Amino acid sequence: MNVQLFALAIVDGVSYAALVFLVAVGLTLIFGVLRVLNVAHGSFYAIGAYTTASVGGAIFAAGFSPWLAFPLMIVAAVLVGTLIGGPIEKFLLSRIYHLEDVLQILVTFAVFLILEDFQRLVWGVQPLFEATALNQLGTVTVFGITYTAYQLIFLPVVAVLVLVGLRLGLRRTLTGRLITAVTEDREAAITIGIDAEKVYLITFIVGASLAALGGALASATTSVVPGMGADMIVLSFAVVATAGLGQIEGAAITALMIGLGRSFAVYVWPEMQVLVPYLIMFGVLLVRPQGLFGGIEARKI
């Protein structure tokens, strides 16, 4: 493996990790507050990608400025999170918090099945490709390799901004502090007058929007195909489990680990590409069952 391939693997891994992080951090945020691991999370990623690619294709064909691709991604992500994520929490998940864990998982699994077909009904099975945003930023050359600025600079910057924004948002803003309070101790938070139901709804919408943003950003780099949501939910779960449930910074570091591991596999042993994230996860969980950054929880009798 020469220097150029090495650099290429690193760049691939980092840009991929940025996308995985956005999805995984939404998943871990939702779990931290709602205590429900949302199997339908990958669907938000896929729907975000589909919305961006199809709307983008339509407005660029109508002759609008290609720079609109960037605001479009944010608008699409927020819309998907609010219009699809919002009702799911409000009308469905809010009814199942008292059910046993296994049924909660199955409910989100049912939502996932429904959303998979919803995508196929709306967008069909033909792959969509809309790379305006990618082309708009051009390419850069480092260490003798030429790479798209979108993947090399833009995606990692967005991921870091989201990470910092989430951290500051949770610590400094009122809504963020309410979310933190409910995460720490739901009953105590309700007792002092926090509207937990509203906090649940807001958290779910934010988490779903982050997954949709991941999809929106990914749509510029790859074709949008059926089944991309299923792949992503398993991968982002691997990230979240390896990091420890509810760990935001941990998710970033683990996403980087898994992204790099996967991209090196592509160059070294391509058959292993799909397996590497799981091998990393199994390896970590074997040694630290609570994840790399997870704390040990007290058990209640």
**DSSP state, residue 87:** H
Q: Which is nearer to another protein, 158 or 241 (CB)?
A: 241
According to CB under 8 A, which residues from 279 to 298 bind another protein?
279, 281-282, 285-286, 289
Kindly determine how many residues on this chain lie close enough to bind another protein according to the rule CB under 8 A: 41
Q: Which is nearer to another protein, 122 or 161 (CB)?
A: 122
Select from 66, 64, 50 the least CA-distant residue to 127. 50
Q: Does 92 bind another protein (CB under 8 A)?
A: yes
Taking CB under 8 A as the criterion, the residue among 8, 29, 84, 111 binding another protein is 111
Q: Does 116 bind another protein (CB under 8 A)?
A: yes
- Give ∠ CA 127-130-55 in degrees, rounded to 5: 95
DSSP three-state, residue 297: coil
Q: Which is nearer to another protein, 30 or 178 (CB)?
A: 30
Q: Which stretch binds another protein (CB under 8 A): 11-19, 55-63, 95-103, 141-149?
A: 95-103
Rounded-to-integer distance, Cα 215 and Cα 288, Å: 31
Q: Does 268 bind another protein (CB under 8 A)?
A: no
Q: Is residue 148 within a helix (H) or strand (E), and if so which, with residue range? A: strand 145-148
Whether 180 and 170 have beta carbons less than 8 Å apart is answered as yes
Taking CB under 8 A as the criterion, the residue among 6, 60, 267, 278 binding another protein is 278
According to CB under 8 A, which residues from 234 to 263 bind another protein?
234, 237-238, 241
Least distance (Å) between residue 140 CB and another protein: 33
DSSP string covering 201-252:
HHHHHHHHHHHHHHHHHHTTTS-B-TTHHHHHHHHHHHHHHHH-TT-HHHHH
Whether 26 and 97 have beta carbons less than 8 Å apart is answered as no
Say how many residues make up the chain.
301
Q: Which is nearer to another protein, 215 or 291 (CB)?
A: 291
Least distance (Å) between residue 294 CB and another protein: 11
Least distance (Å) between residue 117 CB and another protein: 4
Rounded-to-integer distance, Cα 180 and Cα 119, Å: 34
Taking CB under 8 A as the criterion, the residue among 3, 65, 87, 120 binding another protein is 120
- Burial bucket for residue 181 (CB in 10 Å: 0-12, 13-18, 19+): middle
Which residues bind to another protein, rule: CB under 8 A? 37, 92, 95-96, 99-103, 105-107, 109-114, 116-118, 120-121, 230, 234, 237-238, 241, 271, 274-275, 278-279, 281-282, 285-286, 289, 299-301
